[in-house]
Amino acid sequence: MEEYRNNFIVKHIDGRDDSVEFVNGIKIYAGDVIGKVSEEQLRRIQIRETILSHIERERQLFHKGIKVLSLFFIDEVDHYREYDAAGQQQNGIFAQMFEEEYADIVSSLQIGIGEEDYLNYINSIQVCDTHAGYFSIDKKGHMTNSKVKDKKEKTSDDIDAYDLIMKNKELLLDRDPKRSPVRFIFSHSALREGWDNPNVFQICTLKQSSSEVRKRQEVGRGLRLCVNQDGDRMDTNVLGADVHNVNVLTVIASESYDSFAKGLQSEIAEAVADRPKKVTADLFSGKVIKDANGNEQVIDEDTATAIYESLIENGYVKKGQLTDKYYEDKANGEIEIAEEVADSAEDVINIIDSIYDPRAMQPENARSNNVELQVDEDKLAMPEFKALWSKINAKSVYVVDFDTDELIRKAAAALDSKLHVSKIYFKVESGAMEQIKSKDDLLAGASFVREESAQYNTKVSASSNVKYDLVGKLVDETGLTRKAIVKILQSIQKQVFDQFKDNPEEFIIKAADIINDEKATAIIQHITYNALDEHYETDVFTEPTIKGKLGTNAMKAKKHLYDHIVYDSSNEQKFAEQLDTNTDVAVYVKLPDGFYISTPVGRYNPDWAIAFYEGKVKHIYFVAETKGSMSSMQLRLIEEELL
């Protein structure tokens, strides 16, 4: 897409923290937004939600004499403050958004009985005076981004900003709007070691903060017991049980911050966990387990003893500790459980895994479960496999002849009836962590209660800075000529075509899929395959080397052409397990990428080739697909034709 031309080439994908890193140095997390239009809208919503949260807290605490502060962390100073050619300062985009949203919220503010003093307080403060930025100052007196001088020590040149904040700390907490109107603070850094203001009740991150250390520092700015205008600490001595209702921190965050919060909860869970340290018979006694039919069973003392003794006999437990053999067999799916609870093996293993094992907290050896697939020469020489291979190893060419005008008509009709492009919207969720009762409740999210959900619907047009070659992209995706694509787009209804303005990327993706569906239908009806004299050799199974990881995407296999099998999904894993235990199957193989069939819409790589024992079934070979679902009929029609 045009949006991604700025070197957005994937460098690394990390499933541990749901992040993607690009070669241009940008790293984003699930839920992060990169792109001018969408990102600006997201930041505006964050700013608005922060102001709304601020005013709500301010109204609650106004008569307690507590001043409420909100803190924004931004990525670039010029997003808050810009300077013209003459050196005069003016609002950056975030400051402008803030003033617009603040003015709108305050103008429509509804107050209740007894809140007249608060309304007078709000109205006495000008919007331009109620926000300020604390940043480093350059030689010209201009605000500037902080610079890390020593990456190892993480020291910064924010000395001017820190001094300014420290000198005005008490003034900042003054409720008199004439002396101290500032209630919203914008900052570039996390103000790590320089600021400790107790009255920060809202923290909003208008930037992508990928460092967990940085996030903790940012959150730490609001983890203080507040003080009133007299400097009295609002603790249990003053507030009693109400201390928890007053001292509440609200973080207005992106999805990456949500993931970070869950990570913090997990750390807390580990810290407060009361987990058993040894495997004993008592570990199982009294636990409830279910069999394959869902029938519940309470483990009595005799059964608990049988389970414990079975673990020792199989070498899984030694002196009450789980052994390496347990983890190896578990990764391979070969755990042996006592006969008394064989139908409830999964529940029993879950009980075993509740044991605290320090090894589970240590970094995993990346090579410990790695496997490199080896071809079984005996299976390669089996007559059943040779017969199978002789049937499917021929290479082929295809010829297609179809009516282009008919395809254009059908594609336009399909777009009119099927193309539905969603408008971009933002969903805002709020919740609170009330208390920590147990590790299980914490990890399950029981202590983080989602209170409400709101949706921002917004009409989004393509950014004027991004030019989309709609025709060119559809040509690339479908393989049709520009002339054919133009005719298709000219033939669709205006309201259908207008969806392109709402979401260009989704329009292009979905339109291409629909056109390719119609193209596939036309191709299947007019395609002819001819076998060539050239054949695939058996070296397709040895080059290149196939690797996997036990317990993650690989398992041992008995009837597979290789000694292991690398699967792409849980569907493939289950299918392979069934093949491995089927008495009619002689040998099977998950076909490597080097084996493919050319089609007009790209190379088709079948999933499986299966050879049955002669006389067991009507056919000696079979090619199968193991897709969980088919969102497009394009591949399905090709597969039906090929099969």
User: CA 185, CA 203: separation in Å to the nearest integer?
Assistant: 10
Mind listing the pLDDT tens digit for each residue in 101-122? Answer: 999 999 988 888 888 999 999 9
Please state whether beta strands 136-137 and 131-134 pair in parallel, antiparallel, or not at all (unpaired). Answer: unpaired
User: CA 139, CA 373: separation in Å to the nearest integer?
Assistant: 63
The DSSP code for 93 is H
Please tell me whether the peptide bond between 198 and the residue prior to it is cis, using omega within 30 degrees of 0.
no
474 CB-near residues (< 8 Å, 6+ apart): 480, 485, 489, 508, 511, 512, 515
Q: Is residue 632 over pLDDT 90?
A: no
The answer to whether the beta carbons of residues 104 and 55 sit under 8 Å apart is no
104 φψ region: left (φ > 0), alpha (ψ -120 to 50), beta (else): alpha
**Token duo for residue 589:** 């193989």
User: CA 347, CA 345: separation in Å to the nearest integer?
Assistant: 6
User: CA 47, CA 359: separation in Å to the nearest integer?
Assistant: 44
593 CB-near residues (< 8 Å, 6+ apart): 605
**Token duo for residue 558:** 């008995």
Q: Is residue 192 over pLDDT 50?
A: no
Q: What is the mean pLDDT of the chain?
A: 78
User: CA 141, CA 154: separation in Å to the nearest integer?
Assistant: 24
Mind listing the pLDDT tens digit for each residue in 571-589? Answer: 889 899 999 999 899 999 9
Q: Closest by alpha carbon to 257, among 222, 224, 219?
A: 219
The answer to whether the beta carbons of residues 496 and 418 sit under 8 Å apart is no
pLDDT band per the 50, 70, 90 thresholds, residue 502: confident
pLDDT band per the 50, 70, 90 thresholds, residue 506: confident
pLDDT band per the 50, 70, 90 thresholds, residue 242: confident
The DSSP code for 375 is B
User: CA 358, CA 350: separation in Å to the nearest integer?
Assistant: 17
Q: Among residues of the chain, what percentage have pLDDT more than 70? A: 72
- How far apart, in Å, are the Cα atoms of 504 and each of 3, 269, 424, 498, 510? 10, 44, 11, 10, 10
Mind listing the pLDDT tens digit for each residue in 328-362? Answer: 888 788 888 888 888 888 888 888 877 756 554 34
Mind listing the pLDDT tens digit for each residue in 445-461? Answer: 555 555 555 555 544 44
Give residue 481's pLDDT.
93
**Token duo for residue 113:** 């009985």
Helix H or strand E encompassing 74: strand 69-74
User: CA 294, CA 627: separation in Å to the nearest integer?
Assistant: 28
Largest CA distance in the chain: 96
16 CB-near residues (< 8 Å, 6+ apart): none
Please state whether beta strands 69-74 and 200-206 pair in parallel, antiparallel, or not at all (unpaired). Answer: parallel
Each as own residue / partner, the long-range contacts of residues 156-163 (CB below 8 Å, 24 or more positions apart, any chain) are: 156/189, 156/192, 158/188, 158/189, 158/191, 158/194, 160/136, 161/134, 161/135, 161/136, 161/137, 161/187, 161/189, 161/191, 161/194, 162/191, 162/194, 162/195
* SS3 state at 422: coil
- CA–chain centroid gap for 368, Å, is 27
The answer to whether the beta carbons of residues 433 and 244 sit under 8 Å apart is no
**Token duo for residue 434:** 């009330």
pLDDT band per the 50, 70, 90 thresholds, residue 42: confident
Give residue 433's pLDDT.
61
Give residue 633's pLDDT.
43
Please state whether beta strands 564-566 and 554-556 pair in parallel, antiparallel, or not at all (unpaired). Answer: antiparallel
Mind listing the pLDDT tens digit for each residue in 531-578? Answer: 899 999 988 888 778 888 887 889 999 999 999 999 988 888 989 999
Give residue 230's pLDDT.
84
